[in-house]
């Protein structure tokens, strides 16, 4: 199936697991699930059985799969509507993670082919064989391009814009949903790419201190490493650039 796919991974995930109590890990993952669910439903909520509000997943705009520290969104086709959905959902998710102080994430949006045909088989003892495999060139491309980045951010691969009218791209720029920025990659490489924004109209309550906490909140008593500091510095640079627009 041809699709628009966004791949995100959590920065500092190993440190988070090793330096955090299990109940706090569970709580943070509940927050992460809420971030992704709110994003794919465009903040549409319904009442649950206990009187609270939960995202109305019947209103989902794209598919979503969580696997450990990876979060994958993908569309069910490559129409103009699906293109708009993957941009909006990626923006919402990234901004949720930042504003809600969930995790620092980095990602990449691509266009390509994937396969996904999940199933579950139960044994007589209620044990389960679960297949949730998603695979294909689009996922590999997005994973590789995400892993090369040295910040908490997300850029849009050029493949996504194939077949998209320049008028639509300019409309996204004018609306503030995407912007060109020199993205920091490993080996001191910097390339100007279209990126999604850390701050949006719906989610703009974030400060420089909040950005710093994203990277340091799970370190425990351990000092910040050179690698984490570099990603933090690059993210702060991006944050300051967006704030002054």
Residue 233 confidence (pLDDT): 97
Residue 201: pLDDT over 70: no
**CATH assignment at residue 138:** 3.30.70.1230
Residue 183: pLDDT over 70: yes
What are 67-97's pLDDT values in tens digits? 999 999 999 999 999 999 999 999 999 999 9
The owner of tokens 């705009």 is: 61
Which residue range forms the structural domain that includes residue 118? Answer: 2-243
Q: Is 126 left (phi over 0), alpha (psi -120 to 50) or beta?
A: left
Q: Where are the alpha helices (DSSP H) in the chain?
A: 13-18, 22-40, 80-99, 137-147, 166-174, 208-216, 226-243
Residue 101 confidence (pLDDT): 86
Prediction pTM value = 0.95
128-131 and 119-122 strand pairing: antiparallel
Computed over every residue of the chain, the mean pLDDT equals 93
Structural domains in the chain (count): 1
Residue 24 confidence (pLDDT): 94
Q: Where are the alpha helices (DSSP H) in 118-225?
A: 137-147, 166-174, 208-216
CB 112 within 8 A of CB 5: yes
Residue 202: pLDDT over 80: no
Name the token pair of 212: 């710093």
């Amino acid at each position: 199936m041809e699709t628009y796919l966004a791949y995100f991974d959590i920065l500092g995930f190993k440190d988070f697991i090793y330096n955090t109590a299990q109940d706090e890990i569970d709580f943070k993952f509940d927050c992460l699930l809420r971030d992704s669910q709110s994003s794919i439903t465009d903040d549409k909520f319904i009442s649950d059985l206990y009187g609270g509000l939960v995202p109305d997943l019947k209103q989902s705009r794209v598919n979503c799969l969580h696997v450990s520290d990876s979060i994958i969104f993908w569309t069910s086709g490559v129409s103009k509507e699906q293109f708009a959905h993957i941009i909006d959902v990626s923006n919402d998710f990234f901004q949720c993670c930042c504003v809600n102080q969930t995790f620092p994430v980095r990602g990449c949006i691509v266009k390509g082919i994937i396969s996904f045909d999940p199933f579950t088989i139960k044994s007589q003892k209620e044990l389960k064989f679960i297949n949730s495999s998603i695979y294909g060139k689009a996922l590999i491309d997005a994973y590789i391009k995400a892993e090369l980045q040295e910040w908490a951010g997300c850029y849009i691969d050029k493949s996504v814009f194939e077949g998209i009218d320049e008028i639509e791209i300019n409309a996204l720029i004018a609306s503030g949903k995407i912007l060109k920025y020199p993205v920091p990659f490993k080996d001191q490489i910097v390339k100007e790419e279209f990126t999604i924004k850390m701050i949006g109209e719906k989610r703009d309550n974030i400060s420089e201190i909040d950005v710093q906490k994203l990277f340091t909140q799970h370190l425990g008593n351990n000092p910040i490493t050179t690698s984490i500091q570099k990603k933090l510095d690059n993210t702060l640079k991006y944050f300051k650039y967006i704030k002054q627009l």
